Every structure is written in C-alpha cells, then in structure tokens.
Amino acid sequence: MSAEAVKQDDAPAEGSRDWRALLREIAESSALVVVMAVVASMVIGGLLIIFADPDVSDAAGYFFARPMDTFTAAWDAVSSAYTAMFRGSVWNYSADTFAQQFKPLTETLTMATPLIFAGLGLGIGFRAGLFNIGAQGQIIMGAMLGGWVGFAWHLPVGLHLLVAVVASALGGAIWGFIPGILKAKTGAHEVIVTIMLNYVAANLLAFALSQDAFQRPDSDNLQSPIVDTTAQYPLILGSSYRLHLGFLLAIAAAIGVWWLMERSTWGFRFRAVGANPRAARTAGMNVSFGIIAVMTIAGALAGLAGSAQILGTEKSLTTGIAGSFGFDAITVALLGRSRPMGTVFAGILFGAFKASGPTLQVAAGLPVDIVLILQSLIVLFIAAPPLVRFLFRLPTPTNEKVVAA
Amino acid sequence: MKLELKGITKRFGTFTANDAIDLVVESGTVHALLGENGAGKSTLMNVLFGLYDADEGEILLDDEPTGFTGPGDAMAAGIGMVHQHFMLVPPFTVAENVMLGHEQVKGPAKLLDLAAARAKVKEISDRFKFDVDPDAVIEDLPVGAQQRVEIIKALSRDAKVLILDEPTAVLTPQETDELLAIVKDLRDAGTAVVLITHKLREVQAVADTITVIRRGKVVGTAEPTASQEELASLMVGRDVSMTVDKTPAEPGDVMLAVEDLSVIDEDGIARLKHVSFDVHAGEILAIAGVQGNGQTELAEALLGVVPTTSGTATLDGELLTGKSIKETLHSGMGFVPEDRTEDGLVATFTIANNLILDLHDVAPYAKGMALQPRVIAEEAEEHVKQFDVRTTSIEQTAGSLSGGNQQKVVLAREMSRPLKLLIASQPTRGLDVGSIEFVHKRIIAERDNGAAVIIVSAELDEVLALADRIAVMYHGEIVGIVPPDTDRDTLGLMMAGAHEEAAA
C-alpha cells in the first residue's frame, strides 16, 4: 500500500469505527505501555497524596524557613500510603501471626475473582469489536438467578453448587444475549442497550428483594435468605480465609477463553468480525451470529462473576451485590489488553486495590477515593498510548509506521 | 512563474517516500509526473502544497525560497491543487464551494457576496468553456463537472501552478478527452500544469515534459514522443509487455445465468435494474463502465452481500439467489472484492490466517471446533510460494504487505477452492505493473481451467486486454454486450449511456 493511501485510509469514516479503532488501539498497546501507565498513575497518585496530606501542608507553611520539612513530610505521606496499600493487599509484615500476614494476599485474590470473570467476558467482546458496558447488569442477573437457586432450592452436596453456578452463568448469558440479538437484528448500539440493561437489572433486583420470593423472612431490610451451604463455593484455604473455589474456576475460565479465542474456529470468527466485519462477511462468516454468541458468552462469564459474589463472599442478595465490579471489570479488561493472561493479572492488581482500601484509610488516614483515582488514571493513560510513550520516551511501535509499496 | 523543487526528501518512519527529488515546472507548460501507485507522486505534491513538511530540500518560486506551513500559504503563492478525492461540500452550490475558505463579504452587515462569487465562476467557466452553472448544487453534478468546479476553485484564487492528482481516475473516456483539452487551454493561457498520473496515454497526449518517479526517486525524464513501452519500462525499471498473452477463449456451456436481477439500496434507489446475461465456462466477461454505475452492486449481489429485489442467478444449474454467502462460496464461487483492504483482508491478521478466512472451519484447517495451526501454516507456506507473495514470514500481518502482495494473498485464498466462477472486481487497482502481469496471468489460467470469469474494471485497458466479451454498464443497466475488438470510442459512448447501435 502506498504511503499516501495509508494516510487517507486511517481516518475512521463513521462513529462505530471510532469505537473499533479505540478498542484495537487499546488491545494492541504494548505490555510496556501498560506497565508504564501503572507507574505514571502511581506517580500522579503520589502527588495527590502529598497535596491531600495535612502534615505536608503544615510544613509547606514554613517552606522557606525549613524546606526539608516539607520534603520529609511529603515522602512520609507517600511512603505510608503505598506501604499501607502493600500491607492491605499483599503481605502484612506488621501483623503478629503468619495467618494474619498472609491474609491480605488471599483477600486480593478473593476480590480479583469476580473482576477476572467479568473482565474475561468483556475482553472477548472488545476483541470482537463490541463495547459491552453491561457487565454490571449481567453480574446482577447472574447473582440473582444463582442466588435464588442457592437459597430457594435444596439439592444434594455437589449438585446444588453445580446447578447454582450454571444458573448464575445462565442469568448473565440472558442479559448478554438481549443486547446481542438487538444489535445483530436491529443494529441497536450495544453501548446504549447494555447501559440501559444495567439500570433494568439493578432495579429488578431491588424490586425482587421486596417480594416474598426473595425477601428474607425475619428481616425488614432488602436482603434475601442466605444461600445453602451446599450451594456455596468451598473455601480453599480453610475457614480463616475467604478465598473460595471460584478463584480457581476463574483461572480455569481464563484458560478456556484463551483456547476459545486463539485455537477455536469460533474465536477465529470473533476476532475476524472484530477486526474487519466487512471482510469477515465477504469471506462467508455469519456476523450476526458472531455478535450474538460473543455477547452471550461475555454475559455468561459476567454471570459467573455474580456467582463469585453470591456463592462465594456475600452469600445473600442485597442491592449492592455487584458493587462496582461490572464497571471495574471494563478497566480490568482494557488494562489486560483483552487477553486472558493480561486480564488475570489486571484483575489481581485491581483486586489488590480493592483489598487495600480499608488499610489505607485506617493506617495512612487517606480517603479510599485515592484508590479510585489511581484506577481511573491507569485507564486514562492506557487510552492514550502516545502520551505514555511521550512521558517515558518510548519508541513508536512499528505497526504505526507506514509500509512501503 | 517558475516553480522549482530542490532535493525534496520526505520520510515516514523508516520508509523514504521521496528521496532527493528535483523538479522544475515552467509556466505555460504541462509537466507530467509519471509513476506507479506508491512511487511517491502524491507525497511530493502534498509536500509542495504544504500538507506535509519536507525533511530535506527546498521549494523555490521564481528562484525565491518559500516556507509553506499549510495549504493556505501555497494557495496564496499561486499554487492550486485538484485532489484525487474532491474537496467539495456536496449540498453547497458551485458558487458557494468556490468562495469557501476566502469568502467575500459586502455591506455593513458583512453578508456573503454570493453575486461576486457567481460572477467569478461564470467568468472562468466562460473563458475556458467549462459549461458550469454557478447555482448548480454539487451533489447533482456528474463527476466530470465536479472536477471542473475544483479547477475553477483553484483558478479563482489566481493559481499560476495547477496540480492535478490522478484527475482521470473517475472519468469516462470522453470526459477524459474534455479534461485533456482543458489542460491544453490552461497551458496556452500561461498556467503551469502538473499532471500526476500513471496512465501513459494521457501523458503522451498533453505533456510537454515528463518526469518519471520510481520508489521515491526521479529515475529519468522523457520526451512526449517516447513510446508507451519506453515510458513503462522507465516507470517499472525493467522491460514490460503491454499486452496480455492469451489464447482465444474456448467457451463451454453456460456456467452462470443471470436473469432479471435488480438491487434497490437502503435509500430506495435502484442500483441494478433488471440485468440479464450469461457467462460460459472458459470465458472472461469483462464489465466495463464508469465507477458507480451498478458494477459493484452486481458483483456483490451475486455473492449475496447485498440483497436482490428481483431476479435469479444460477451457477451451474444451482440457484445462487437466496443462498448465504458461505453457501455461495462453497458452491464454487471465488470472489476478489473491489476494495481488498476493506472487504478482502483482515489487516491485523497474519497472512496465514487471511488465507483461511473462508475455509477456517472446514477440514483440514479445523477438526471440530479446534483450528489446526500446523496444517494452516503448511498450507500458507505453499500458497505464499505458489503466488509469489513477497514476505519474510507467513506470520506477518496482511496490513504490512504492499498492495500487490495483499492482492496475491486474496487471489491465493480465492483460487485455493475449485472454482466454477471467479468474480474479480478491480483486480489490479493500485498495483504495480509487475503485479498486474501476475494477476492477469492467474486470471487467464483460471479461465483456461474451465471457470467462468467476470472481471469488473474501470480501466478500459484492462478490459480490452482480458475480455472475451465486454458488457458495458450505465445507470444500473447493461447497455450492451460487445466483442473484445470493439473500439474505444464506441465503448466510451456506451459507458456514457448510448446503446451499442447508436454508439457504433
């Protein structure tokens, strides 16, 4: 292709191709850019911590008399914040017993579990060119259906868990199928539909919790009965830790998704449809079916994230069952470059952020919002690779260069 | 005015698009810039027009160095450019488009002075016999007229140097002749015209000076009296044959029968109107016509990409209409789409994966749902060798290949199935002469294997070189099917809508 043709063809002609170009850019940003984005946001986060810290502003009041005080205070603020995050999420070296020292890491993995599930699903969508914002609703529907099977049905050990997990996946799958079929058959944009379905799911849950079928008998609060122990994920490290079987299932799901996307005919089709739907269609691929299948699989994985919540950590339905996992999972999938391995690592990183919140607040006296700001900054940087490359003087990747005819 | 480019070098990353190019354009002459697609002609003109910054070299106007930072500077200095893709606002009138960018105002309210713009259009139009109505809306005008509006736009800004970038790509043969006449008039009126093209005939018709560019370098200059063979070999860097070797067709039975086929697009506009024709086994039917007269829709309707509203297509006794694209491909149709980057390839996929886009889910490339990477790689190596795809690895992305090699990948994929019918739209668009020869040979080989072949091409040269029969399309209809020895003028008239009896 000629140099001049490349220049012209690069301009996206329509809105939906803008989305696709953005997704592609993110999916193909190098691992180095991702790591550097994390580093850059830690640096900016550090500056925010310095500005928010009362000791630093006190010392800055007499900066010209004793400038070192300001720097010392700043260093103390940043280091205590980041060490608190480390202690809250990886290894609590100041705890007395080994069990307590080890606990933060298991908390991180526990928090990571729903993020990995949902992130895997979103990643499939992103690679197929679908901007699925609906993980939140899909998690809620998964948790509702799985939870209902968990507390309303009473089945033997083993079978009960299996049925509840499948029900969770089914709940999410239905909530993914709806925007999928609407997109495939009517062209409705998946971003709009999934956002709206998030509201529907959240309010459906609130409504259900006010009904007898979901209401806990002895309670006036909006909460369901506790799921039977037979339907709960077994704890894999004993009762002192919350880490449950769902985490291993998430890792297995990651391997499954890798196979699906890289080694199966379905994944080949999904990727082709995502990268160039017109060429996929011209080559005889059924684009509509691809869209529906991708959205349904993504929904099922988000539904499994719901199962990690209801059958793993929460055990009863409340309106906050999904937390902000559905939205954080978008970040996780983007950070993981929509690849299964990357999503697992990104999920663990964000699980660590979530797990470190309480320690940060208690030990360093900083608002949890700092964590949210860090998360947001990471995404911001990843969405603008040229900015990161500029900041760290990284070379431009070769695929952006013009290829000679 | 004398325009001089000295040692212009422009790089994109590691790729040098222009390498120390020298060029002198004198007023009152037509200077043809001849080169293949991708040789760097358009890049050079974009540098001249201030759209790109040159990495090295300078631009002199009447021996004074210039420092254009954008098209505005270039226009102010008297350089006008007519781009390959027109820069017009479709719902605006001719006068509005001409004044766009340096609007004149009048009165205390600063109202647009449309009357002045209209007068200017009329004056220029009359001077060069353009026959353009200042009040016509651009989108209602034929392409040739739109191009004249672009020229008026440039002239209204007192362009002393007019750059025409591949101006004839979108014109009928007659419109081309009109344009070349205009170019001569402009030259006689003292304008310096730079004509960028890869069409040898046009160069011979109007050029006073010819500069040939190959791979970003000036490889020589030629006199307008040079033969086509001489110009072509300068352009390509080796001897090329301008004709295609093929034996006369030995048509067999009817392979494809198209009956009353119609396509109405989403806006309710009839793109294909009751088209009927047959193609025999072992025969090439070329579909000629100016772009946008239903050829694309015909090809896409046969594949099933666009829905048909009436009629049938039958391939070897099997009904095609109503089949899915996949079924159609599997029933023996090979399809080379008009726009290979949009429809033919997934640019971010590897060559190996692009070679199995259509067959990825059947043996031997897949067992059940599992892809067979080893088989895929082996077959890809084989195809890359057979079709002479110039690449270092089958794991390279298709997007990193040159246009010619991309087209070879598409051909390799489409010809790897046993074919009853091959449809190739614009099979050599944007390819260098070497690749064109290769693609033509392969297409003829497919015909000689007994496939029916449909070629859709906007290049009359290609149509005449390949066709065993020529169908000419105009406004969604086939105005006639004529033998391959029909002369250009007749074809040109047919492309403008005249029926064959009237044209002959």
Picking from A9, A24, A405, the nearest residue to B37 by CB comes out as A405
Q: What is the number of residues in chain A? A: 405
Residues B50 and B67 in one domain: yes
ipTM field: 0.79
Nearest residue to B54 (alpha-carbon basis) of B87, B21, B32: B21
Nearest residue to A135 (alpha-carbon basis) of A9, A308, A6, A287: A308
Picking from A5, A268, A275, the nearest residue to B371 by CB comes out as A268
User: Is the pLDDT score of B413 beyond 70?
Assistant: yes
Residues B201 and B173 in one domain: yes
What pLDDT score does B473 carry? Answer: 93
Picking from A264, A282, A396, the nearest residue to B344 by CB comes out as A282
Three-state SS annotation for chain A: CCHHHHHHHCCCCCHHHHHHHHHHHHHCCCHHHHHHHHHHHHHHHHHHHHHHCHHHHHHHHCCCCCHHHHHHHHHHHHHHHHHHHHHHHCCCCCCCCHHHHHHHHHHHHHHHHHHHHHHHHHHHHHHCCCCCCCHHHHHHHHHHHHHHHHHHCCCCCCHHHHHHHHHHHHHHHHHHHHHHHHHHHHCCCHHHHHHHHHHHHHHHHHHHHCCCCCCCCCCCCCECCCCCHHHCCCECCCCCCCCEHHHHHHHHHHHHHHHHHHHEHHHHHHHHHHHCHHHHHHCCCCHHHHHHHHHHHHHHHHHHHHHHHHHHHCCCCECCCCCCHHHHHHHHHHHCCCCHHHHHHHHHHHHHHHHHHHHHHHHCCCCCHHHHHHHHHHHHHHCCHHHHHHHCCCCCCHHHCCCCC
User: Is the pLDDT score of A348 beyond 70?
Assistant: yes
**Residues in A touching B399 (Cβ below 8 Å):** 399, 403
Residue B341 lies in a domain: no
Which residue type occupies B19? Answer: D
Contact assignment for B342 to A276 by CB distance below 8 Å: yes
Domain that residue B189 falls in: 3-236
Contact assignment for B357 to A5 by CB distance below 8 Å: no
What pLDDT score does B343 carry? Answer: 92
What pLDDT score does A402 carry? Answer: 34
Picking from B358, B399, B406, the nearest residue to A284 by CB comes out as B358
Domain boundary among B236, B262, B296: B236
What pLDDT score does A162 carry? Answer: 96
Find the closest chain B residue to A4 by CA distance: B43
Sheet containing B15-25: order of strands: B15-25, B3-12, B56-61, B64-65
Domain boundary among B416, B440, B473: B416
Average pLDDT over chain B, rounded to an integer: 88
Residues B439 and B478 in one domain: yes
Domain boundary among B390, B416, B442: B416
* Percentage above 70 pLDDT, chain B: 98
Picking from B12, B344, B348, the nearest residue to A3 by CB comes out as B12
Contact assignment for A264 to B369 by CB distance below 8 Å: yes
Joined together, the tokens standing for residue B270 give 């009839």
**Residues in B touching A286 (Cβ below 8 Å):** 324, 326
Contact assignment for A401 to B12 by CB distance below 8 Å: yes
Q: Where are the domains of chain A?
A: 94-355
Residues B407 and B439 in one domain: no
What pLDDT score does A321 carry? Answer: 93
Pairing of β B161-165 and β B79-82? parallel
Domain total in chain B: 3
Contact assignment for B373 to A284 by CB distance below 8 Å: no
Instruction: Give residue-wise pLDDT tens across range A3-57.
Output: 333 333 333 334 455 666 666 666 566 677 788 888 888 888 888 888 878 788 8
Half-sphere exposure of B349 (CA within 13 A, CB side): 29
User: Is the pLDDT score of B149 beyond 60?
Assistant: yes
Residues B398 and B423 in one domain: no
Q: A337 versus A27: which is more confidently predicted?
A: A337
Residues B80 and B101 in one domain: yes
Rounded mean pLDDT of B285-290? Answer: 91
User: Is the pLDDT score of A344 beyond 70?
Assistant: yes
Residues B378 and B390 in one domain: yes
Residue B337 lies in a domain: no
- Please report the sign of the dihedral spanned by the C-alpha atoms of residue B434, residue B439, residue B444, residue B445: positive
User: Is the pLDDT score of A186 beyond 60?
Assistant: yes
**In this predicted structure, which of A116-130, B161-175, B404-418 has the lowest mean pLDDT?**
B161-175
Three-state DSSP state, B109: coil
Nearest residue to A381 (alpha-carbon basis) of A313, A335, A317: A335
Which conformational region is residue B244 in: left (phi greater than 0), alpha (psi within -120 to 50 degrees), or beta? beta
CA distance linking residue B171 with residue B182, whole number of Å: 14
What pLDDT score does A403 carry? Answer: 32
User: Is the pLDDT score of B435 beyond 90?
Assistant: no
User: Is the pLDDT score of A228 beyond 50?
Assistant: yes
User: Is the pLDDT score of A144 beyond 50?
Assistant: yes
Contact assignment for A405 to B403 by CB distance below 8 Å: yes
Residues B383 and B404 in one domain: yes
CATH node for A94-355:
1.10.3470
Which residue type occupies B92? Answer: F
CA distance linking residue B121 with residue B157, whole number of Å: 11
Residue B222 lies in a domain: yes
What pLDDT score does A5 carry? Answer: 34
Residue B338 lies in a domain: no
Rounded mean pLDDT of B455-459? Answer: 88
Are residues B220 and B197 in contact, defined by beta-carbon separation less than 8 angstroms?
no
Name the CA radius of gyration of chain B, rounded: 25
What pLDDT score does A79 carry? Answer: 87
What pLDDT score does A64 carry? Answer: 85
What pLDDT score does A24 carry? Answer: 63
User: Is the pLDDT score of A366 beyond 80?
Assistant: no
What pLDDT score does A28 carry? Answer: 60
Residues B214 and B93 in one domain: yes
Instruction: Give residue-wise pLDDT tens across range B364-390.
Output: 999 999 999 999 999 999 999 999 888
How many CB pairs below 8 A link A and B?
131
Residues B103 and B216 in one domain: yes
Residues B311 and B350 in one domain: no
Instruction: Give residue-wise pLDDT tens across range B216-266.
Output: 889 888 888 888 888 888 887 777 666 777 888 888 999 999 999 999 988
Joined together, the tokens standing for residue A227 give 């799921």
Residues B104 and B126 in one domain: yes
Assign residue B283 the CATH number of its domain.
3.40.50.300
Contact assignment for A399 to B303 by CB distance below 8 Å: no
Nearest residue to A137 (alpha-carbon basis) of A316, A326, A399, A279: A326
Are residues A30 and A36 in contact, defined by beta-carbon separation less than 8 angstroms?
no
What pLDDT score does B425 carry? Answer: 92
**In this predicted structure, which of A15-29, A359-373, B262-276, B286-300 has the lowest mean pLDDT?**
A15-29
Contact assignment for A271 to B43 by CB distance below 8 Å: no
The overall pTM is greater than 0.80? no
Residues of A with CB under 8 A from a CB of B: 1-5, 8-9, 24, 28, 263-266, 268-269, 271-272, 275-276, 278-286, 396, 398-405
Residue B487 lies in a domain: yes
